[in-house]
Structures are given as C-alpha cells and as structure tokens.
Amino acid sequence: MITAREALDIILNNVRPLGPITVSLAHSLGYALAEDIVADDNIPSFDNTSMDGFAVRSDDIKAAPVVLTIVEEIPAGKIAEKTLKSGQAMSIMTGAKIPDGADAVVQVEWTERMDERHVKVLRSVQAGHVIRLAGGDIQKGARVLERGQTIRPQEIGVLASLGKEFVQVYRPARVALLATGDEVVPLNKKLPEGKIRDSNTYTLQALVQECGGEAISLGIAEDIREEVKSKVAAGLEADVLITSGGVSVGKFDLVIDVLKELGVEIKFWKVNIKPGMPLVFGVRDTRYVFGLPGNPVSTMVTFLKFVKPALRKMMGHRAVDNGLKVQALLQHEIKKQDGKRHFVRGILESQDGSMIVRSTGSQLSNVLTSLTKANCLIILPEGKNQFSPGEKVEVELL
Amino acid sequence: MITAREALDIILNNVRPLGPITVSLAHSLGYALAEDIVADDNIPSFDNTSMDGFAVRSDDIKAAPVVLTIVEEIPAGKIAEKTLKSGQAMSIMTGAKIPDGADAVVQVEWTERMDERHVKVLRSVQAGHVIRLAGGDIQKGARVLERGQTIRPQEIGVLASLGKEFVQVYRPARVALLATGDEVVPLNKKLPEGKIRDSNTYTLQALVQECGGEAISLGIAEDIREEVKSKVAAGLEADVLITSGGVSVGKFDLVIDVLKELGVEIKFWKVNIKPGMPLVFGVRDTRYVFGLPGNPVSTMVTFLKFVKPALRKMMGHRAVDNGLKVQALLQHEIKKQDGKRHFVRGILESQDGSMIVRSTGSQLSNVLTSLTKANCLIILPEGKNQFSPGEKVEVELL
C-alpha cells in the first residue's frame, strides 16, 4: 500500500490549475491571485506628515525656541498653495503633503501657538522629522503581490491602495458530490428502518465551500450499475467528482468498475492510513475523481488530507497544504498495531506556555461527534506504534 | 489610559447577542447555533455490522471451524426477513442491520465459502464481534450540540445524521462602514495629488465577511460636520457602525462630537496599545460604534482585537476570542519604549519541532504590506519593554 505522502504526491503531480477569471476587488476574498501585482505608483505617492504639527525648514529652528510666521494651513487631502520660505511655518494635518520648501514637521505638542499668525517652536528637529517618504510602503515598479498568493483582508487593502478595482484570480473548482448506497436516505425523506441519513453530502458541501469551490450535489446513487454509471458520467462534467460511500469491498468494486468503463484512469486505490484506507484517486483528462470511504469521519479526514490540497492547487493557491502544523505534548499514551499513519481527532490547548494535546476519545470512524469535539488532528506516523505521555507529536489545526 | 483587557471587557459587557433566524442546513456554515440540539433517535438507530461478513450465533461457532447454512443475504439498507436460527448464517454487508437471532458477525476474511448455501467459519468470535451498537455515536435524548457552538462541516454532518433540514442560528450582524477624511478617494475616481485611496472600506468589508457579518458601505464622509453627522446617523440604523480615519486629533474630536450629538454614549477613547491607541467605543441602545484609527494597519489590528470579538458575541459564538494562541521562540531582540501593549506583525514557523517567530520588519502603522507578509501577531504585553532572542512570546494566528 502506498503512504499518505506518496498518495498526495500522485494527486498533486496530476492536478492542474484552472483558468483565470476577473472579479471585482469587493468579491475577491479567499481567491488566489492569477497575476503578479506591480505598483504603478509609489505608496504613499507623496511625502507626508505622520503627525499633526507645523511644516518648517529645519535650519530655521536650530536655535529653538524660535517664533515662525504661519503662512498657510494644510488639511489632509489639500496641497499647499505657497512655497515655504525661511522664517515661515505652515500648520499641517496628519497625512497631508509636505509643502515645497519645508524639510521637517514639528509635532503640535512641541509648539506653542502665539496668535493667529505666529507659532513658537520649542524644540529643534532633524530634516525629515515625522515625514513619511513617498514610496515608504510600496515603491513604484515593485512586485507587491505574486500570482498564487491567497487574497486575505490585508491583500485586499493593498490592492485598494493601488487603485485596483478588479483582479485576476483562479476560478473556483466545480465539485460534483455523489453519495452512494441503498442504505442512504436524503434529509427530506422519511427514514425507513435499517437505513441512515445522508450526512456526507452536507459535510462535503461545507468542506468544498470552505475551500472556495462550488459544490454540486448529484444526490444519492443506489447500488445499481446503470444508476451509478449515469451519475458518475454526469459528475465527470465537473472539474472534480467526489463519491462517498461504498465502504464494503463489493461496493467499491462497483464504483471502480464504472469509473474505468467511463475512461477514468485509477491512479491509486488504498493508502496506508487510518481512517480512510480505501481511498481512490482517478484522472480523466483534466477531470479528477476522488472515491472517499463512506464512514463520516473517514470522508472528512480524507477530504482534508487529500482533496483539499488538490482543490487548493487547482484554484491556484501557492500554499496547498493544510495550514499551520504545530508540535504539542501528548497528554496520554496512544498505541496502534497496524503500522499505518493515523489521524487522531484531538483537542489542542495552550497550558502554562506549552502546547498540549489529547485525543477526543473513541476513534471509531463512524463517530462523527468526535470531530465536533476536535480542534486538530494528531498525526501518528507510519512505522511507530507507541506514543507515550509527554512525547512531542505533530498536530494539524482543523 | 485603559488596557487592552479592560477595553475588551467593556465591549463584551455591553454588546448583546442578536436574535435567531432559521436557515437551511446547506446554508448554515459558519453561523452559531441558537438552539441546543437534542437527539430524538439513536445514531446509529440500529445495531449494524462494521465489516462485510456473516451474521451468526456466537454459541454456534465456539468449536470453529464450523460449517453453517446460509439462509439469507442482507445488503446495507435492507432488513433480514428471517430470524437467524442455530446452525444458520446470513451474509451481511457493512452497515446493514444485524438480524434477529444473531449476536455476532464474522468478517468475510475469516470464512470460506463452500457453495451457494454453505459457509465455513474458520474462527470463533465473542458475542458482539464487529457489531456497532445502536446509539454508539449518539444516544437518544443526548444534547449533541449546544447553543453557541460554531457550525463547521463536522457539525453539519452531525445535524444531517439527525435529520435536521433547518437549524436556528443567530442572525448575521449588519455592519455599516464609514471612511472619513477629505484626503480619501474611492477606487472608481481619479486620484488627485495629495490624496490617497480608500483602502480601509475594502479591508473592513473583507474582515466583516470573514466574521459572518453583512457589511454595508456608507462611502466616504468629507470633514464637514453636517456630512459626517448625516452619514453617522445612517450608520446607526445598522447593528454596528465602524468609522475609520480621523487619525488627527482634530478629526477625532469631530467624529466624537457628532456621535455624542446623536445620543451615542462614549464608553472609552484611547487604549494603551500600539498600533491603534486612539480607538473609540460607543453605545446607543443596542447599536454599537467603533471609531478605528485610519492608518491601515491600525484599522485592521483594532478590528481583529476589539471588533471581531464583539461581532462574534453578537452572532452568538460561545468562543469570542481570536482563535488559538501559541507560544513561540522569538528569533531576535525587540525593544519598545512606551510601555504599551504591542501587536507586532510576525511570521510564525515550525522548525525542528519548535515554534519560532520573527517580526515582518517595519512596524509603521501605515505600512499595510507588512500585514501581507504576516501570518500572526506577536503580543508584547504592557510594562515589559525588552524581549530577547530565544525568549518565549505569545502569538495569535491571523
């Protein structure tokens, strides 16, 4: 059986980024940039003052205290009409452009207003004092943001400051969801004895939404070859098809048979992990298929570990992995016997300056409530089967 | 000046949760539950098998190997028609209900099919073997999820498994955004000399969106009392009004004067932090006003530290704080001189099993690009002014 690392490499080597679309800046949150952003002006575009005060010539106030004549007031957003001459000062507001002739600003706290026309400067300052220089944040011509960066609120702020009303981003992946199994019943139908609710379609919709993709539900396919085939064929119209269910050996065979019939090349089936071992990944041209095991926890964990990085790569994000990994001290012993890589639902906390983590309890793969208690997955690598209290383990935030 | 902790306490003691709304499960991601969820059935609702195999009476196979007569096949989702009698077995698929009369399942790997009607069971098993009991995930009557829990994909899965098509959640906060200042120009207008782009409205829209709120932009108010007043009055129709700008002392006075005229009680003005010191918080009945300083970094940091917890409390989330705090080893010296609590833009990484963090560089509050490089804020508490390389510091993930 291949390892989790090998499986992820196969997936990432196969999936290709989707094409770009143009979106307005106000609707760009969460997308990845599909273009480099180069500043076509300095930010700020002019020297300005970072404090309220008086624009002066620093030479004039070397022998402070000195009285200067106020010749103009410059509110933020306005340009001085005059050029500042020796012996003069201009009252200036935070953010306003430094007038020609001035080379420093003295903050209002270091001055004393004598009358309407005169100010006493109490302290001398160096040339450049409290002046923010043009280009101090962004230099004209600089590559400010790069293709593949994820757009967060701060990137939106930078794009706005550069005057970008529209940006090119990678388009969202269309992800078709197909639940399989005679035992699965949709939410809006009565639940007959011996059957269970379709929860995976809802979980997967939410997971796809969190990734920035567009989920399309194909409903539930009964375990009839022709029905599975027609729904899988429809799903192959999307960028990605995710099937869930078919936990039993026989059912997986049916889904895999149908995929092969429809021209999907199966890249792997089964990964050395728990939960989620019977994971399937296939490719047909630029369409990708993930067959996820049907137990709710297996479905969610395999999505997070394998489908999410694929979707992030398709949607252009340079960082495809699952965010920050931290090291934490395990609070209790964990044993496994199968040598697989385990993803254990865990609770990570900060305690007295250390990160500590414990299991949520039962790790049965049908117990989804354990994931509602979890805020992380504890990664227990292949090969090693015993983990002791106080041992450092790797943890991924959920 | 009050501390960050005192300011947050004042805010959280004033804001009240908004009312509940009903949303369909498919649209519930990110909301907080406004109701406790009690299971009205066991999950699973019936004893079932976790593996493909044969349902048996454990007494029958004590002397395994033993040949049993196959009397029925039970696919998942189907109910056995017969009751299992001594000497009999039923073929059963993962997830299917255990038939009456059986008390164990032997997985297919431990059996040998003799012919159409007979199976040889190779190993004996205990009663209950590979049977998942009714209520093993959720017991009927249990409070599965609580009011105030944030709905993530796994909570959606649990709600679906309980058959919940609709859930009660706290309604999204309507958040009015008002930029102020003659120097601020919207994206769709030409930028005259001496003026700057309105970036805060875009950053704040995205931040509000991330919190699950509904942002309403009121545009830009020029520094004219009547204009500020009419826009602030409009903003007070929303649940929350956020103003940004007015970084200079004189302008803050104008916004605060207008707020008071319109009946807003100012709860505090100025907090002992950097960036973001001139933060204002006011209340009028159930409407809340945040006056954020206009420098882009100050705007974003004060939003994250003060507005976000308020919005989360209003939208019913039990966990109002900013997610996980971690301890990390500082990579270089940081000095400050003002004794304030500093929020330093930082880059947090995992290295050889330790969390390490460094500053992004310039901490000038107009330099928003520093936040595009950051993945965390380093918290430097009040009072202490020197932090050494290798020292443990508290870090909040962005």
Q: How far apart are CA A355 and CA A329, in angstroms?
A: 6
Sequence length of chain A is 398
Nearest-Cα distance to chain B for A9, in Å, is 22
Nearest-Cα distance to chain A for B286, in Å, is 27
B292 touches chain A (CB under 8 A): no
Which residues in chain B have Cβ-Cβ distances shorter than 8 Å to A52?
A: 248-250
Which residues in chain A have Cβ-Cβ distances shorter than 8 Å to B294?
A: 95
**A176-207 pLDDT tens trace:** 999 998 889 999 999 999 999 999 999 999 99
Contacts of B335 (CB under 8 A, 6+ apart): B385, B386, B387
Contacts of A247 (CB under 8 A, 6+ apart): A278, A293, A294, A295, A298, B94, B95
**A218-255 pLDDT tens trace:** 999 988 899 999 999 999 999 999 999 865 566 677 88
Chain A, residues 175-204, CB within 8 A of chain B, namely: 181-184, 187-188, 191, 193-204
- Please confirm whether the linkage preceding B278 is cis (ω < 30° from 0): no
Q: How far apart are CA B292 and CA B71, in angstroms?
A: 75
Find, in chain A, the residue whose alpha carbon is nearest to that of B347.
Answer: A324
Helix, coil or strand: residue B301: helix
Would you place residue A321 in the very low, low, confident or very high pLDDT band (cuts 50, 70, 90)? confident
Would you place residue A322 in the very low, low, confident or very high pLDDT band (cuts 50, 70, 90)? low
Instruction: For residue B300, give the nearest of A25, A153, A326 by CB distance.
Output: A153
Which residues in chain B have Cβ-Cβ distances shorter than 8 Å to A204?
A: 153
pTM flag (> 0.80): yes
Q: Kindly report the average pLDDT of chain B as a whole number.
A: 94
**B294-352 pLDDT tens trace:** 889 999 999 999 999 999 999 999 999 866 788 899 999 999 999 999 999 999 988 87
Q: How far apart are CA B355 and CA B290, in angstroms?
A: 34
Find, in chain A, the residue whose alpha carbon is nearest to that of B208.
Answer: A153
Find, in chain B, the residue whose alpha carbon is nearest to that of A247.
Answer: B94
A160 touches chain B (CB under 8 A): yes
CB contact under 8 A, A368 and B161: yes
| Percentage of chain B modeled with pLDDT above 70 | 98
Q: How far apart are CA B55 and CA B111, in angstroms?
A: 11
Find, in chain A, the residue whose alpha carbon is nearest to that of B193.
Answer: A79
Mean pLDDT confidence for A6-15: 98
Exposed e or buried b per residue across A222-257, where buried means at least 16 C-beta atoms within 10 angstroms of its C-beta: ebeeeebbebbeebbebbbbbbbbbbbeebbebbbe
Chain A, residues 84-113, CB within 8 A of chain B, namely: 93-97, 108
Find, in chain A, the residue whose alpha carbon is nearest to that of B165.
Answer: A187
pLDDT of residue B251: 67
Instruction: For residue B326, give the nearest of A188, A294, A326 by CB distance.
Output: A326
Decide if the complex's ipTM is over 0.90.
yes
Q: Is the pLDDT of residue B219 over 80?
A: yes
- Three-state SS across A240-271? EEEEECCCCHHHHHHHHHHHHHCCCEEEEECE
Which residues in chain B have Cβ-Cβ distances shorter than 8 Å to A207?
A: 153
- Please confirm whether the linkage preceding B65 is cis (ω < 30° from 0): yes
CB contact under 8 A, B202 and A327: no
Mean pLDDT confidence for B161-168: 96
Query: Which whole-number Å values give the CA distances from B208 to A33, A149, A178, A199, in the listed order?
Result: 21, 21, 33, 30
Would you place residue A49 in the very low, low, confident or very high pLDDT band (cuts 50, 70, 90)? very high
Q: How far apart are CA B303 and CA B398, in angstroms?
A: 12
B347 touches chain A (CB under 8 A): no
Contact A21, A169 (CB under 8 A): yes
Which contacts of B263-272 are long-range, i.e. CB under 8 A and separated by 24 or more positions?
Answer: B264/B236, B264/B289, B267/B10, B267/B11, B267/B14, B268/B2, B268/B7, B268/B10, B270/B1, B270/B2, B271/B1, B271/B2, B271/B3, B271/B4, B271/B7, B271/B306, B272/B1, B272/B2, B272/B3, B272/B4, B272/B339, B272/B340, B272/B341, B272/B382
**B227-262 pLDDT tens trace:** 999 999 999 999 999 999 865 566 677 889 999 999
Per DSSP, the residues of A344-395 read EEEEEEEETTEEEEEE-S---TT-THHHHH-SEEEEE-SS--EE-TT-EEEE
Instruction: For residue A165, give the nearest of B44, B79, B188 by CB distance.
Output: B188
**A109-166 pLDDT tens trace:** 999 999 999 999 999 999 999 999 999 889 999 999 999 999 999 999 999 999 999 9
pLDDT of residue A247: 54
Chain B, residues 41-60, CB within 8 A of chain A, namely: 44-46, 50, 52
Query: With the C-alpha atoms ordered A378, A382, A386, A387, is the resulting torsion angle positive or negative?
Result: negative
Q: Which residue segments constitute the domains of chain A, with CATH numbers given?
A: 4-16+172-314 (3.40.980.10), 22-40+148-170 (no CATH), 48-132 (2.170.190.11), 325-397 (2.40.340.10)
